[in-house]
Amino acid sequence: MSILIDQATRVIVQGITGGQARFDTEWCIKYGTRIVAGVTPGKHGEMVHGVPVYDTMQSAVAQHPADASVLYVPAAQVKPAALEAIAAGVRLIVVTSEYVPLHDVVHIVAAARAAGVRLVGCNTNGIISPGKSKLGGVGGMDPAEIYPPGRIGVCSRSGGMTAEISLALREGGYGVSTSVAMGGDLVTGMSMAEYLMLFEADPDTDAVVIFGEPGTRNEQEVAELVRAGGVSKPVAALISGAFQEAYPAGMSFGHAAAAINTQDESASAKRRLLQAAGVHVAHALEDIPGMLGQALVAAGSVVRPDTPAPVI
């Protein structure tokens, strides 16, 4: 299994006629993603890589029932596009767009939660369940080079770090069940703790790696969840950004949400909190595979490398 998406997930691409959407759609289809339709207002009747385009989500879903939608639309159009997807009945929405106004994000997150829809992003490069399906630009043109299939879940506040963590796992002989870039904005559709609960429920995920950074309460919520026994599987964490502690509070670096506004939002504080809760905190990427191996043995899991040439 996997979380959020698999080979059966039917996908509609909103904004499919744009340049980035065309590029990602092509490589998603080649990977095996079931993209059933696209939506761009005023483009009804066009075809993109063999995918029919409609003017609205309602008309697309009427002809092509879908489980998920991935958005490639300008920031100002994310709110109406997401609300249209929710109204059309899809159960998963992935928003790749950057710089979406915060008040719009809050609105669509509330609307998605009220409708029981899972929202990934905004500002995500996507989700991949290796060997099954991918949404967004994650993995580029050859995802197999970076994301081998396996039994380790990955959840990251950075899109780029999903690839770095997956490569480190590969070098250690492990593969990935699902990797999610949750988005680097102040407000995201789902919290890191919510992703961990999905991995906890997935029988084909043995352990989880998270990547965190300063700002937000995501990592604090993970610590609370693990401490309370809400996650029984081993969790490893890599938390970057300790350098920010030398700068004035409130300065963001990289992602919009990576700003220390209170002392417990610093990387150092998060590392201490996670470690005290029982999370295995890594000092470097290369530490993660060995740390996971030891944690899986301690947890009584059957440890078997996922990839053919393990180095541990």
Check for a shared fold between 1-124 and 146-301.
yes
pTM above 0.85?
Answer: yes
Q: Which CATH class is domain 146-301?
A: alpha beta
User: What is the chain written as a DSSP string?
Assistant: --SS--TT-EEEEETTTSHHHHHHHHHHHHHT-EEEEEE-TT-TT-EETTEEEESSHHHHHHHS--SEEEE---GGGHHHHHHHHHHHT-SEEEE--SS--HHHHHHHHHHHHHHT-EEE-SS---EEETTTEEESSTTTT-GGGT--EEEEEEEES-HHHHHHHHHHHHHTT--EEEEEE--SSSS-SS-HHHHHHHHHH-TT--EEEEEE-SSSSHHHHHHHHHHTTS--S-EEEEE--GGGGGS-TT-B-SSTT-B--SGGGSHHHHHHHHHHHT-EEESSGGGHHHHHHHHHHHTT-----SSSS---
Model pLDDT, residue 248: 74
The CATH code of the domain at 1-124 is 3.40.50.720
Domain boundaries, the chain: 1-124, 146-301
pLDDT given at position 302: 53
Per-10-residue mean pLDDT, the chain, length 312: 95 98 98 98 98 98 98 98 98 97 98 98 97 97 95 96 96 97 95 98 97 94 97 96 74 73 87 97 96 89 50 31
Catalytic residue annotation: 255
Residue 110: predicted pLDDT: 98
